Amino acid sequence: MLDKLKAIVDYAYDNIPIYRKLYQRKPELNSIADFKSLPYLRISDFMTCNIEEVISNVDEVATILPPIENKTIFPFPRLESTYDRDMRYEIFYYLIEQTGIKKGSSFVVLTDSSHSYFCGEIVNNLLFYKYPTSMIFVRDHTVDEIQEWVSKLKPDCLLIGTDKIIEFSHWEIPYIFTINQYGKNLSNPPLSPFGKGGKFNTPPLEKGGRGDFRPSSANSVSTFGKSEIIKHFDIYAISEIGWVAIRTPEGHYLYPDDYFYVETDPTDDILVLTTLANDLQPFIRYKTSDRAKLLNGNRFQITYIGEH
């Protein structure tokens, strides 16, 4: 890991002005402790920069990534090169692999006008990996119409990318996906190594945080009737970086440690991310607005999600 961290720090210092401004001189990293002594990169650091100061001089800009919501506090568009795009697709495939769903499983994505761009990017990734996918705009249809469409499509997986309250507990879909809903568990029966008797222990939601999504009036899928066991997977993503990890029904988030180095600030438990494979716009010791508890291996547990 040290070699990867040294490589991304050297690259960023040599090619991206914001890091020369942040570090003052080129860091010498001989240990992980040296890396952890580097200053945090914060969103406030971007506020005084122009776009040329936060990206490398890669010739080709392949993609402008959409934020999770169609608004974001991050002051710049999230740019990526062709290489970055390929890495992002690999990260997404890693996340899907952690679910254990069969290749070729079908998806329906529910979205609204606030999340359509990001959900559209998820659809692109699903189709790239040959998962048949349909996207339905909640704004354009009544609940009855949506249910009728879902009944006709009979998807294996439902991805909920909307804040609208929709009762879907009787649709009998075995796999449920959400985005940044760390405080919700829709698995049936609930499963977690952190609770006793199979009870899922979720941290309390804090005021001002996101994640207060209620996909059914009872906030439960206990009425799925004849359906098989329901598994709920939550994708953790931030607008600045994209998707990072996925929570399994066991209750923890898994991230690909070939692509991210994850820390928390010991003073406030804020999640700190380093991207190991970004070409155009890498993030090194980027202090997010989210809190987490690190677990063994490439796992963590989210306890709060702030603004992005």
pLDDT category of residue 294 using cuts at 50, 70 and 90:
very high
pLDDT category of residue 306 using cuts at 50, 70 and 90:
confident
CATH number assigned to the domain comprising residue 148: 3.40.50
- Please spell the DSSP secondary structure of 103-169, one letter per residue: TT--EEEEE-TTTHHHHHHHHHHHHHTT--EEEEEGGGS-HHHHHHHHHHH--SEEEEE--S----T
Write down the residue that tokens 């438990």 correspond to: 269
pLDDT exceeds 70 at position 227:
no
For residue 193, the model assigns a pLDDT of 38
- Which one is predicted more confidently, 276 or 191? 276
5 domain-assigned: no
200 domain-assigned: yes
* Mean pLDDT, residues 167-189: 78
User: What integer best gives the mean pLDDT of the chain?
Assistant: 80
Q: What is the rounded distance in angstroms from the CA atom of residue 19 to the CA atom of residue 217?
A: 48
265 domain-assigned: no
268 domain-assigned: no
241 domain-assigned: yes
pLDDT category of residue 192 using cuts at 50, 70 and 90:
very low
* Mean pLDDT, residues 5-29: 92
Q: What is the pLDDT of residues 46-79, one digit of tens each?
A: 888 777 778 787 666 656 655 555 555 555 667 7
59 domain-assigned: no
Instruction: Report percent pLDDT > 90 for the chain.
Output: 41
Looking at the structure of the chain, the number of domains it has is 1
* Mean pLDDT, residues 269-284: 91
Containing structural domain, residue 176: 86-254
109 domain-assigned: yes
308 domain-assigned: no
Cβ–Cβ < 8 Å for 147, 216: no
Where in the chain does DSSP place strands (E)?
Answer: 63-65, 78-80, 107-111, 133-137, 157-161, 175-179, 231-238, 242-247, 253-254, 260-264, 270-275, 286-294, 299-304
